[in-house]
Amino acid sequence: MSDTWWRGAAIYQVYLRSFADGNGDGIGDLAGLRAKLPYLAELGVDAIWLNPWYPSPMADGGYDVADYRAIEPSFGTLTEAEDYISEAHALGIRTIIDIVPNHGSDQQEWFVAALAAGPGSLERERFIFRPGRDGGLPPNDWQSIFNGPAWTQVDDGEWYLHLFAPEQPDFNWRNPEVVEEFHSILRFWLDRGVDGIRIDSAAVLFKDLDSVEESYTDHDEVHDVYRGWRRITDSYEGRFLVGEMWMPDQERFALYLRPDEMQTAFNFDFLSRPWDADELRASIDLTLTTHVPIGAPPTWVLSNHDVTRPVTKYGRPDTSFSHQDRKHGMATDPVLGERRARAAALLAMALPGGLYVYQGEELGLPEVENLPDELLQDPLWVRSGGTDRGRDGCRVPIPWSGQEPPFGFGSGTPWLPQPADWKNLTVESQHDDQNSMLTLYRNGLRIRRTELGDGTLTWLDADPGVLLFARDSGLKCITNLSPAPVDLPPHTDLLLTSNPLENGKLPTDTTAWVR
C-alpha cells in the first residue's frame, strides 16, 4: 500500500471491550484481538481503528483517559500492544488509535495535582477552573453534552469545566504545556508503529467562557493545534489524521481538511440521512463537493460505537428515522432493517474514498434495546434521568460461535449480556452461508479492494427513487429505493447483489454491482 493508503482504505472499528475476550474475565482485550486478526485479514480490511485502550476508570467507556502512554490493565500491557501492531502489520493491516484531546480523567495525574495545588496555581492552568457567581452559582449556565451542568465545584469553592461527564475535566488548550504534552503523546505512539490518529471531539477544544451562548465549538484557534499535529505526523512515513467533528456547516467543516491540517474526517452527514434516494444523493454530492476540491478523500460511515446499529435504524418507519433515537420500545421491522442495511452496505462500499465498518456491522447485529436498566453503563443513561438509554445497546460483545451466550466471546460472563437469538448471527453460523451478511461484506470488500477505493464517481440517468453511478473501473452501482422492481443497467457481468434479483429485475431496497 502507498504512503497515502488511507485515501481508499477499508477501516474496521474495534471497540476492544466487546470484540474478543482472551483471558476469560468477560472483557475484550488485546489477547482476544490478536487471536482474531486472521478473521479480519480474511474479511478484507486494510486497517483497524481502536477506541481508547488507555488506563481509565471507565466513567465513559474509556474516553476518560487516566494515562495516555499506557494500556488499560484489563486490556493487556504496552508490550502486548506493540506485539499486536507488529502482528497486524505482518498481515497487511494498519492500526489507528483514538486520541482524546478535549478532556482527561479526573484520576489523571495532572488533575489530581491541580486539585491539591489550589486556586491560582500553575497546575490548575492546565484545566479550566473558574470562581463561581454570587449565590453559589457556577461560572455560567452551560450544559454538558451528556446532560446536566457543564461545571462541577471542588472543595475550595472553584469550579471546573467538563463538556462531557464530571469525571472528564476539560484541558485548557491556551496553555502551552497542554499543547506540548499532546505533541509528546503523538510521538510516543507513532514511534511504536501506529499508522493513524483518530481525533475525538476535534472541534471543541477552545471555549469562550464570556459568551452568553454555549460557545465551545469550532473556534478558529483550533486549526493551529491540528497544523502542529500534521507537522508531526508528516515527519513519519505513511501516517494520517482523521477527525471526529459533528458540524452542520460544510464550509467550516472543510477548513479542517486543508492541506496542512487533517487528511480526512468522518462523514456524519451520510450516516445521518434517512433511507431516501434524494436524501442520500444530496449527501453524496455534498460530500464530494466539500472534499474533492481541496484534495481530501471522502469517508463513508454507516455506524459506530455512538449510534444505533444500521439493522435497527433502517428498520424504523421512515417518519421516525433517527440514528441516535434510543427510546425504549420504538417499533422496528427487523426484516426490512436487514434488507436496507445490506443495500446500504454495498452502496457505501461503492463510493469513492475511505470506508469505515463498525465491528458486528458485517454480522448484521441489531441494537440491543432491552438491556436491564441496572446493567447500563453509559453516562447518558444516568445524566438524562433515565430518558436516554445511552449507547450500550450498540456495544454489546459480538458473537463468534456456539448456540448460546457467550457465543465464543470468551470463557467468562460478558460485561454486557448478549441476546439468545444471536446464535443465528455468529461468525461461525455465517461464515459458509453464501447468503449471509458476513459473506456479503467479504465479497464486497474483496471487489472494492481490486476495483473501487479512491477515485471519482459519475452519476447516470435513472428512474425516480433509484441511485445509479459509474466508477473509474467501469463498475456501476445501482440502488433501488423506489417501491417497485427496476431494470438493471446494460451490463456483461453481474458482480454482486445485496439481495437476489426477481425475474431479472432489481427489487426494492436492493443494491447491485454490474460491469
Which residues are annotated as catalytic?
200, 251
Does the pLDDT of residue 319 top 60, yes or no?
Answer: no
pLDDT the model gives residue 388? 86
- In tens, the pLDDT along 219-269 reads 999 999 999 999 999 999 999 999 999 888 888 999 999 999 999 999 889
pLDDT the model gives residue 326? 59
Distance, in Å, from the CA atom of 310 to the CA atom of 82, rounded to the nearest integer, reads 33
pTM: 0.95
Q: How far is CA 460 from the centre of its chain?
A: 31
Distance, in Å, from the CA atom of 122 to the CA atom of 107, rounded to the nearest integer, reads 18
Phi/psi for 199 (5° steps) reads -100, 110
Phi/psi for 453 (5° steps) reads 75, -140
Does the pLDDT of residue 167 top 80, yes or no?
Answer: yes
Average pLDDT, the chain: 94
pLDDT grade, residue 331 (50/70/90)?
Answer: confident
Distance, in Å, from the CA atom of 185 to the CA atom of 198, rounded to the nearest integer, reads 13
- Domain 109-161 falls under CATH 3.40.190.10: no
The residue extents of the domains of the chain are 5-101+175-441, 109-161, 454-514
pLDDT grade, residue 323 (50/70/90)?
Answer: low
Q: How far is CA 413 from the centre of its chain?
A: 26
pLDDT the model gives residue 239? 96
Q: Would you say 308 and 325 are in contact if contact means Cβ atoms under 8 Å apart?
A: yes
pLDDT the model gives residue 293? 85
pLDDT the model gives residue 320? 56
Selection from 93-107, 363-377, 444-458 with the highest mean pLDDT: 93-107
pLDDT the model gives residue 49? 98
The reply to whether 109-161 and 454-514 are identical in fold is no
- In tens, the pLDDT along 108-134 reads 999 999 999 999 999 999 999 999 999
Does the pLDDT of residue 203 top 80, yes or no?
Answer: yes
- Domain 454-514: which CATH number of 1.20.1270.360, 2.60.40.1180, 2.60.120.1360, 2.30.30.90: 2.60.40.1180
Distance, in Å, from the CA atom of 386 to the CA atom of 4, rounded to the nearest integer, reads 45
DSSP 99-138: E--SB--TTSHHHHHHHHH-TT-TTGGGB-EE--BTTTB-
Does the pLDDT of residue 410 top 90, yes or no?
Answer: yes
- In tens, the pLDDT along 345-391 reads 999 999 999 999 999 999 999 999 999 999 999 988 888 888 888 89
β partners of residue 300: 355
Return the C-alpha torsion angle 143, 148, 152, 153, nearest 10. Answer: 110
Over range 491-500, report the average pLDDT.
Answer: 96
Q: What is the CATH number of domain 5-101+175-441?
A: 3.20.20.80
